Amino acid sequence: MTARHFIASLVLTSCLSALPAAAQEPSNAGLALGVRGAFGIPAGNSLDDTSMVNTFGRTVAPQVDLSYFFTRQLSLGAYFQYGFASGPDDDCADGVDCKSKVMRFGIDLDYHFRPDGFVSPWVGVGVGYEIGTAETGEGATRIWGKLQGYDLGHAHFGVDLQLTRSIAVGPYISASVGQYSEISASVGSVRVDRDLTDDEKQLHVWIQPGVRVQFRL
């Protein structure tokens, strides 16, 4: 056997022996499902000089998200969050029936620094849309309001504990900046829907610490 034939045979043997290992190696790309629980702390004003705390209050906000991993480090996904609370802080005393909710949905781009390590930090940014409603009283004294507008941008940071290659769990914190642009309000049977004026529009912030479980599908 010549040296050239020997080298060719060695390369072919090496490639064939690597096939079983390559077949068992999971793909870097794929879908992931995330389930989160967060506590929403608002800051800033919802409109004019009305604070977010007095509009919606603090929320408990479960969230689901579906992401596509281009590699084990980079993913792009969509999320939906439904936060609910006991209602505006100022109007819920003395037995008044109050409730509020804040829905948020949009897209996130996340980067995982050590996806193959047991401790895997990650960061992300995104944009979205937000719809908040608040209600006090009932019957003829019922007051209801809705504000909606864009989540102009948010960032989040977390640390995953990689329980298996497909399951990770860990704490995170997110911060978002938004601005409402439309309002709907009703008192009894009278309702008004309109766009906010430039003078009425204000920036608000949501700070949300929480925990996420993510499943690679």
Contacts of 99 (CB under 8 A, 6+ apart): 84, 85, 86, 87, 134, 135
Per-residue exposure over 111-120, b if at least 16 CB sit within 10 Å of its own CB, e if not: ebeebeeeeb
CATH number (3.40.50.300, 3.40.50.150, 1.10.1040.10, 2.40.160.20) of 28-216 reads 2.40.160.20
Per-residue pLDDT of the chain (217 residues; tens, 9 = 90+): 554 444 345 334 444 444 444 344 445 789 999 999 999 999 999 999 999 988 898 999 999 999 999 998 999 999 999 999 866 655 565 666 788 999 999 999 999 998 889 999 999 999 999 999 998 877 767 889 999 999 999 999 999 999 998 999 999 999 999 999 999 999 877 899 999 999 999 999 999 999 999 999 8
| Domains of the chain by residue range | 28-216
Q: Which residues pair with 136 in a beta bridge?
A: 98, 143
Task: Enter the pTM of the model.
Answer: 0.81
How far out from the chain centre does Cα 172 lie? 11
